[in-house]
Structure 1
Amino acid sequence: MLKVLKKHHQSLLIAIDEVKETPEIVNLASIYQIMVLKKYSINMMMTGLPKNVSELQNNDVLTFLLRSGRVPLGPLDLFDIKYRYQKAFERGNKEINNTALMKMTKLTRGYAYAFQDLGYHVWQHSTDQVTDESIENSISSFKNDLFRNAYIKIISELSPVDRKFLFIMAHNDKNVVNISDIRKQMGKSSNYISQYRQRLMDSQVIIDAGYGKVAFSLPFMKDFLLEAEELYEIDN
């Protein structure tokens, strides 16, 4: 196929979402390297969690990927989320005031899936006007979708130590948690805790909330962890 494309002065772009270090991906990346060395016009674009991308780049046979361009993507811009909500409801002839827009925007915490899902549920729970009641009636379905479709998967891919770190955060009375409190409860050194703090930040589950402090980055993650701990009787 590449020979035919080259003959017609065409290029090939391979796009892969949710990339992980699987045998199939490793094999494809190896073939890609060979095709590049043979001067075929082929490019590959992959997206995935930072942790998964790093594992792939550091694979012993794929070190060439370390030279590839890497673009980190953070949360969606809150001003843009607010603007997109406003325009979407306006196009649907649904009236929405600034207070409701602000509430919806803050509920997403910049999480792309939350932005999409909350907008859908609020739309379904409103008629010609989006009210505070419309938003409140949407939260139960919104949380269920987050928990079932995203958070269970996210947590299942973390190590036991990662999860213990998060459960300690969830049981803290404050939304912003001191790293020193986590270190004391885990009984580990600062270097040990810093390693897992960085891992969870790379997985975009927590964020730096100031010197020596962290917070959950995803909406209702604390609620999810506490409910999951009780439902599945997780022993920490």
Structure 2
Amino acid sequence: MGIEGVGSADLGKVEFNETTLPMTLRATLTDALDRIGKRHSDHGLLITVDETQGANVSDLRALATAVQHLIREERNIAVAFAGLPGMTSSLLHDNVITFLRRAMPVELEDISLGLVSDAFEEVITANGGAITPEALQIATEATHGYPFMIQLVGYNIWRKASGSVIDAGAARAGVEAARIRLGGTVHEPAIEDLSSVDRTYLLAMAQDQGPSRTGDIAQRLGKDPQYAGRYRERLIQAGIIYPSAYGYVDFTIPYLRQWLQEHAATLMLGGN
């Protein structure tokens, strides 16, 4: 684990070993806060952690320990974590990372497709490119307004263009590349820690082309509705599915249904 300063408060770069990590990290952060305070008495230190669900738990514990000490000392420090919705269910039950329970959760909602379309067109034009109306519609609708998918689609349609103009072919190729990337970076991490029954529930859902009726899922599982309902609630709490209507559930993450269909055999063999 390392920490590297950015901007006016240059922290330098420090490497930590696992044994002394909490104490070394606390000392490093204290030194950084002292230096920031000397230059700007009203400034503090913000630590951001991205892809938290894939972070090393030992590193998170060390960070939590160091930050909690500094908070007790009333130092001007804050931490922002970003990750999949389901990460809180596992991290909040960790004995050391309990200070996350006092954090303010902010769940990002899907972005309207109108804004997505405008953003694509503005960024592409500002960088000397162009996109056809058909390609813009394909790219926009493929994102489903999902923030990370917007990034992936935008990046990949630009790469797939043969020249300065992004046409429908480049858009379709870029969307497919983005979908595959989403599978490896979002779908797989979201599923890998689920139990075999959780996965079976999701695979039962994946048999439908749209929202699934909870009664049908229970029937496919060969269980009574009350039994299936327990796993429904677990998956809702994990941010994997949501109740789309009374008696129906659907997937929260775009393209998860298709990813489950493609990986069904592997998931059944790899259950816990």
TM superposition score category, shorter chain reference: 0.7 to 0.9
* Residue 241 of structure 2: aligned partner: 206
Deviations 1:64-120 (A, max 9, x none): 4323222122333322211111212322331421x4323322211222332222223
Please name the residue that 1:11 is paired with: 44
Could you state the TM-score of these two structures normalised by the residue count of structure 1?
0.82
Tell me the amino acid that sits aligned with residue 38 of structure 1. E
After superposition, residues 218-229 of structure 1 pair within 5 angstroms as: 218-229=253-264
Amino acid of the structure 2 residue aligned with 1:136: R
Question: How big is the shift at 1:22?
Answer: 1.6
Is 1:70 equivalent to 2:105 in the alignment? yes
- TM-score, structure 2 normalization: 0.72
Per the TM alignment, residue 185 of structure 1 is displaced from its structure 2 partner at its CA by 2.0
User: 1:147 — aligned with what?
Assistant: 183
Aligned match for 1:27, one of 62, 66, 81: 62
Distance 1:59 1:4 in 2: 32
Counterpart among 181, 184, 207 of residue 171 in structure 1: 207
Matched residue SS, 2:52: coil
- 1:93 is aligned with what amino acid? G
Q: Which moved more, 1:156-165 or 1:15-24?
A: 15-24
**Counterpart of 2:197?**
161
Corresponding residue for residue 93 of structure 1? 129
Candidates 217, 230, 247, aligned match of 1:182:
217
2:138, 2:172 within 8 Å by CA — same for their partners in 1? no
Q: Name the amino acid aligned to 1:224.
A: W
SS in 2 for 1:209: strand
Partner-residue secondary structure (3-state), 2:145: coil
Q: RMSD in angstroms over aligned alpha carbons?
A: 2.8
SS in 1 for 2:79: strand
Give the Å deviation of 1:164: 0.8
Instruction: Kindly indicate whether the alpha-carbon contact (under 8 Å) linking 1:19 and 1:47 is maintained by their aligned counterparts in 2.
Output: yes
Deviations along 1:158-204, one digit per CA (max 9) or x if unpaired, are: 222221111111123x3121111112222445454344334434444
> Unmatched 5+ residue regions in structure 2?
1-30
1:119 aligned residue (136, 154, 157): 154
Moved more, 142-151 or 35-44: 142-151
Cα offset, 1:28, TM superposition: 2.1
Q: Could you tell me how far apart the structure 2 residues matched to 1:78 and 1:208 are?
A: 22
Equivalent residue, structure 1, for 2:168: 132
Give the Cα separation in 2 of the matches to 1:67 and 1:146: 30
Once residues 17 and 77 of structure 1 are traced to their aligned partners in structure 2, the CA distance between those partners, rounded to angstroms, is 24
Contact 2:199 2:267 in 1 (8 A): no
Which blocks of at least 5 consecutive residues in structure 1 are unaligned?
none
Kindly state the Cα deviation for residue 213 of structure 1 after the two structures are TM-superposed: 1.1
Q: Tell me: CA distance 1:77–1:23, structure 2 relative to 1, closer, same or farther (3 Å).
A: same
The more displaced of 134-143 and 28-37 is 134-143
Cα distance per residue 1:97-149 (max 9 Å; x no partner): 1x432332221122233222222332233335443333333344333323334
Q: Are 2:121 and 2:136, in contact at CA under 8 Å, matched by a contact in 1? A: yes
Percent of residue pairs identical: 27
Partner amino acid, structure 2, of 1:234: M
Q: 2:142 aligns with which of 107, 110, 128?
A: 107
Query: CA separation in 2, counterparts of 1:202 and 1:78?
Result: 26
8 Å Cα contact 1:17/1:46 also seen in 2: yes
8 Å contact from structure 2 (residues 142, 175) kept in 1:
no
Amino acid at match of 2:194: L
User: How many angstroms apart in 1 are the aligned matches of 2:144 and 2:157?
Assistant: 16
Q: Give the Cα separation in 2 of the matches to 1:198 and 1:102.
A: 35
